[in-house]
Structure 1
Amino acid sequence: MGSSLCATDAGAANAEPVHELLFPMYVVKVSDFCQMDGPPEPHHLLKSQGLLHEWRPGMFVIFVSHQWLSSAHPDPHGRQTAVLRSTLAGVMSGSLYVEPDAVSIPSGKALSPTMRQQIGDGYLFLDWYAIPQITAREEGVNEDVTRTDAALAVQSIPAYVELANVFIALVPALLHTETGMRCNYVSWQSRGWCRAEWWCHLLSNKPDTSVIVVYSCREAEFMFPLSWQENKVSEGEFTVEADRRVVAKLGERALESKISFLSTAGPLSRYRYYLAQRPQLLCQRSEDFSLTEFLSHFRFPDRLEEAIQDTSSMSPVLCAVFAGDAKILRALLENRADANQKLYGLSDLGFYDGQTVLMAATKSRQTPKVLSTLIDLRADVNAATRIGLTAVALVRDPGQLRVLMEARADIHTPGRPFGLSPIAGAAVWACPETIAAMLAARCDPNFTPQGVGYGPLHAVCLQARNSRRATEIARILLASRADVNSTAAPVGVFKLVCWLSQARVAMRGFGHCSIVVRTAAALPGLTPLGAAALIGDEGLARLLWENDAEVLANQRGDLPEDLAIANGHDHLLPLLASFGV
């Protein structure tokens, strides 16, 4: 997803833009935006007040991607922009931490003081400000009008994304004023045009393509690297179905440009990765290569014996796995390629050092045939990551699970040192049908405290932002008698980490610590309801309450309501207050 935002060139804009700029890019100074109040004013009013500036080279621009909260106005009550103002103020002052998600935390990515200063001195792109007479997309409205300023500006959004230096996904949990739908990170990820903006940023040729996700005025983090790859641009939701084809072409153009750029500029490992993933990312059929064609396509030596000796981060085996080519994979492994090679150098793409090829196959949603090919040719089904997760804990669908179980993968034993059971890992990433199959195979929906000290119900609540179907998975676990009032009990070094986090929170205040520190401080004694409140998930909180969850404080004395307030999830307060009635 890009290098750390502490690099000197991290804020550089795209060196080789792909998309056409059909209408000028209008931006607002961050300093002016922070002085505004109430619902955002439209383009023509800001322009008449002299607050709009036409983009020119050298400007530092923050592109804000968001969902509209009504059909006529993106933010009729000004709540979304209020969160953005508070977030920017926290970023500029240094009081708001922006760091990787909990899974990616070892990467060490952070906002540097220089970047914080650039943001404060920079300019903001928000569609309502920047595009004249923009309206929400409606079927049959303005379909033939392609020459208006508004239409040209909308068509230029991919170009605006490329010109921006920082990309923010503004996703606080707020209600759409007409549909009553809860708009949040999960719903933002599902929207086709949001995915288009997201993809155009991530596939640009900027030195850094990180995405900052703003959950509330007190919570912001860098996006998990695998998220965009699991949200295909052509599979998004569109108000106007005709937009699907347009957006799919944007995604294809962005990906082809990325591959073309990497083919000459390198690195070769990234070129091979995107080339291998291309069919899956674009929802297209994989090419049917001969072995000779495969080696040439991915720029390996012509002689198989030499190619197999490639020890780069994208070896022939990994290229075959990511391409989903079981035939080529078998040919490589039968010629003594290593079925258990460990990954390295792909962490910014979501595949972490020390994970195995089999794990890469499960995480990239490869077919059961790819998994069975690896296993048939000696892949270790019980190899574990540095935190103790095996391929079963990273499984995505029932077909993958079936292959692993047939190979006698251990689906029960918690891994060390984190102490998470395979079903606790799978509950975060897999579909509900997979969790149901694991429970049918007698996986325990509860836990005996080890390591981090929690089980699958806590896991799905703490990581619900990464799953559209978290509530369904929690419902399945509860139906299998998961303890709705179980309390987390970290042990050993993890207990010490929690104590240290509690000390930090005591010194700095809960709201002035990072998301990871807050979570660790809250963890001892935390219930699933407390976890749902911590991340602001109303659907999960309601489900847990309906299944007899009690309002219990953690060991620090924080009630679920306290945790919601501390993390800026005020939308949960009416629901949590009703639990005590």
Structure 2
Amino acid sequence: MLLPMYTVPVKDLLLMGEIEPHEELKARGILVEFDKSMGNAAFVSHQWVGHAHPDPEFKQMRVLQAALRHIMSDLTRIPLDVVTEMILPRSSGLPTSKLVEKELFIWYDYFSCPQMERADQTPKGCRSELSKAIESIPAYVASSSFFFVLVPVIASDNLQKVFSPSSWARRGWCRLERACCELGQNQSWIVVKAPTSLELISCPSASMGSGPPGQGDFSQAADRAKMAPVLMATMKRKLLQLLQAQDFVSYRVVLNQQSVYLNGLQEPGMQDYYKPVPGFEESLPDRVEKMDPSLILVEEFLYQNGFRKIAERDAGGWMPLHYAALSGDLPLIQGLIARGANPNCKTTKDQPLLGLPPLTSALAICVMFRHDGAAQFLISARASLTGGASICTPMIAAVVADSAEGVRLLCAARCDPHRRNLVGAGAFGTACTHGTLQAVAELLRQTGGHGLDVTCALHETMVNHGGSAKLVQKLLDLRADMNDQTFTWWKPGFGLGLISMQKILQHKLGKKTLCSKLMYHGGHGGTPLMLAVLTSQYEAAACLIAAGARLDLRNSRGWTAKDFAEGQPVPDFLQEAFEGSRDGCCRVTYAALRNSCWEL
């Protein structure tokens, strides 16, 4: 930690009426240098909604204040998000007692990092205080017991933009903070969408997709260069910790993710990845210059990963080819295949760090992490395009990763984009569930829209975090029925249908969760608008209302969309719509769509 971790005690945060910069709060003695002996810290990741100020109208912070009051008063447990509950059924929510058992201190960039220093105040050759704070972000996250993702839907009239969970996920700095969380001790986040809409995400890669920090959006391109050393140091520390703990499965995952995390931060052909285990050169025979270079590459890979044989399978159910596919190292993959690795070998266990289920192929892993050259080679090596009996087929992996190139590669090799996976899920519906716009666009190009149930997909868009105005508008343009009430959970696939049976019964028996509530209400006469309100996807709800979605429809339980918002502090534009005025929803939708260049 190059700069102390400055925080604000939660009791002082709740009294704020505006967000003041670091220097002013420090001068007034409100900032506290956090130490773990004092209590717990919460790191707040958020997207700035102003040019020179993170929250000029105090809209974001007001939501955080209300959410913290909700946690400290009437909320007993922060529930799991829908996807985590589905894929990790043994997981449970976070008891709020853990947040209040000790004094809580809040880290928030604008008041925790220096903001007012000028370039001429920093001696030549020395790092600025802000640079020190940036390099300390991994340490701040590691020192925090909780990681908050603050993503209420905010419509900025000045910037003519809408800020939402999807815009947060595209932001480069937010991706860096997320990566630091993933590489920390506790990978879970608390997502704050509204004062009473909080979710615990225990499997970030499956629940709320993103991408490498270097491929994110930046206000200043020069900021990208600041990230590589921060990420390199974070991964190095994590790898050494995993080796010390003898957690070799997690070690292999992180070791081979270096290329993923650093994508966009290093020049092609100039990548420099950390190799934690010394002594490989000493293990080579004397006449190493006569050895096949590809053999040396394979041997070093096995050495660094702790494998003895190419056909070995580790305790996590993965083989060397799977880890090589994760790294995307084409010469390495070619070397493994040349020495007998089976291009169709599958994993036998799930990998929660990556959100990957069992029975995942090396090709699917390559496509998932956008290693297109390696994927092309595996296709030429006769890797199965369908993945056989698998949940994460190569096509499903491509759409989850929002890889238009992955979809193109597979379709060019004659992979059927309509083919469903082991549990009956299709690529188009999955893309809509994850809100992966480029994958949706490419599937539409490849299929011409034929054989795609766009109305079912509109419902699926509201299940997870896919509900952006851009995607909703695209589906409406394709003639999706915004007032459809024929949707059932069996339509997207029998796997979801089976889950719905269990969750509906669970809900009737009184064990209510976000997932059980969604299943109970959403598949029995529920409209896309009802689902959007249920899952707090307010940007999508605004787009549907602006397009003319009916507000008077009731599901089979007798509920209207307004009923799902009853007693909830929903955004003003949505409350106004339920009171009869759609103007606010029209303004939000216009702002969300005006800068969109995404089109078929």
- Work out whether the TM-score is over 0.5: yes
1:519 maps to: 518
TM-score, length basis structure 1: 0.78
Alignment of 1:149-298 (within 5 A): 153=133, 156-176=136-156, 178-204=158-184, 207-223=185-201, 224-226=203-205, 230-283=210-263, 284=266, 285=268, 290-298=294-302
Cα deviation code 1:253-289 (max 9, x no counterpart): 3233333443554422223222222223212447797
Please say if residues 62 and 122 of structure 1, whose CA atoms lie closer than 8 Å, have aligned partners that are also in contact: yes
2:282 corresponding residue in structure 1: none
- Give the counterpart letter for 2:369 in structure 1: S
Are residues 1:437 and 2:441 paired? no
Question: Could you tell me how far apart the structure 1 residues matched to 2:389 and 2:569 are?
Answer: 37
What is the deviation of 1:529? 2.6
Once the two structures are TM-superposed, the CA of residue 79 in structure 1 deviates from its matched residue by 3.3
> Is 1:391 equivalent to 2:394 in the alignment?
yes
Deviation at 1:66, TM superposition (A): 2.1
Structure 1 residue 366 corresponds to structure 2 residue 371:
yes
Q: What letter is aligned with 2:482?
A: V
Contact 1:61-1:122 at 8 Å conserved across structures: yes
Aligned-pair CA distance for 1:497: 4.0
Give the TM-score normalised by structure 2: 0.76
* Shift of residue 76, structure 1, vs aligned partner: 4.0
Give the C-alpha shift of residue 520 in structure 1.
2.0
Deviations 1:452-473 (A, max 9, x none): xxx222122333x358xx4444
**How far 1:318 moved relative to its partner?**
0.6
CA 1:553–1:196: 2 relative to 1, 3 Å: same
Which of 95, 103, 109 in structure 2 is aligned with 1:121?
Answer: 103
1:531 aligns with 2:531: yes
Structure 1: 5+ residue stretches without partners:
1-19, 136-140, 448-454
Query: What percent identity do the matched residue pairs reach?
Result: 25
- Give the 3-state SS of the residue equivalent to 1:63 in structure 2: strand
Shift in Å, 1:58: 1.9
Asked whether the equivalents of residues 296 and 302 of structure 1 are also in contact (C-alpha less than 8 Å), the reply is: no
CA contact (8 A) 2:395 2:407 kept: yes
CA distance in 2, matches of 1:473, 1:113: 35
Unaligned 5+ residue runs, structure 2?
273-292, 491-496, 587-600
Q: How large is the RMSD of aligned CA atoms in angstroms?
A: 3.8
Q: Which amino acid aligns with 2:447?
A: L
Distance 1:39 1:529, change over 3 A: same
1:226 deviates by 1.8
The offset of 1:211, in angstroms, is 2.1
The equivalent of 2:406 in structure 1 is 400
C-alpha distance in 2, partners of 1:479/1:443? 16
Residues 312-358 of structure 1: CA deviation (Å, up to 9, x unaligned): 43421112211223444344345153613224252132212343333
Query: Is the contact between residue 50 and residue 56 of structure 2 (CA under 8 Å) also seen in structure 1?
Result: yes
3-state SS of 1:379 partner: coil
Tell me the amino acid that sits aligned with residue 347 of structure 1.
P
SS at match of 1:353: coil
Pairwise CA distance, 1:210: 2.2
Q: Give the superposition deviation at 1:87.
A: 2.2
| 2:460 aligned with 1:459 | yes
Of 114, 118, 136 in structure 2, the residue corresponding to residue 142 of structure 1 is 118
Secondary structure of 2:395's partner?
helix
Residue correspondence of structure 1 range 417-432 to structure 2 within 5 A: 417=423, 419-429=424-434, 430=436, 431=438, 432=440
Q: Counterparts of 2:446 and 2:557 in 1: how far apart (Å)?
A: 34
Instruction: Output the CA distance in 2 between the equivalents of 1:261 and 1:368.
Output: 32
- The aligned residue for residue 451 of structure 1 is none
Give the conservation status (yes or no) of the 8 Å contact 2:454–2:478: no
1:316-335 mapped onto 2 (5 Å cutoff): 316-333=320-337, 335=340
From 73, 76, 85, the counterpart of 2:65? 85
* 3-state SS of paired residue (1:578): coil
C-alpha distance in 2, partners of 1:535/1:541? 10
CA distance in 2, matches of 1:350, 1:146: 44
Classify the secondary structure of the residue corresponding to 1:553.
coil
Which residue of 2 is the match for residue 7 of structure 1?
A: none
1: CA distance between counterparts of 2:193 and 2:223?
27
Q: Which moved more, 1:356-365 or 1:534-543?
A: 534-543
Kindly tell me: are residues 412 and 292 of structure 1, through their superposed partners in 2, closer, same or farther at Cα, counting changes over 3 Å? same
Shift in CA distance, 88/514, structure 1 to aligned 2, threshold 3 Å: farther
Shift, 1:218, TM fit: 1.8
- Tell whether the 8 Å contact from 2:153 to 2:162 is kept in structure 1 after alignment: yes
- SS at structure 2 position matched to 1:395: helix
Please give the alpha-carbon distance, in whole angstroms, between the structure 2 residues aligned to 1:103 and 1:269: 24
Q: 1:342 matched to which residue of 2?
A: 347
CA distance 1:93–1:514, shift in 2 (3 Å): farther
Contact 2:151 2:193 in 1 (8 A): yes
1:13 corresponds to: none
- Please report how far the alpha carbon of residue 369 of structure 1 lies from its aligned counterpart in structure 2 after TM superposition: 4.9
Q: What SS does the corresponding residue of 1:308 show, helix, strand or coil?
A: coil
Residue 389 (structure 2) pairs with residue 353 (structure 1): no
Cα contact 1:326–1:373 (8 A) shared by 2:
no
Letter in 1 for 2:530: G
Please give the alpha-carbon distance, in whole angstroms, between the structure 2 residues aligned to 1:382 and 1:265: 34
Residue of structure 1 equivalent to 2:313:
310
Partner of 1:6: none
Per the alignment, residue 581 of structure 2 pairs with: 578
User: Contact 1:382–1:410 (CA<8 Å) still a contact in 2?
Assistant: no
1:11-30: CA deviation from partner (whole Å, max 9, x where unpaired)? xxxxxxxxx323x3232333
Compared CA separation, residues 250 and 146, structure 1 to 2 (3 A): farther
Quick one: structure 1 residues 302 and 181, their matched pair in 2 at CA, closer, same or farther if it must change by over 3 Å? closer
**1:290 match: secondary structure:** helix
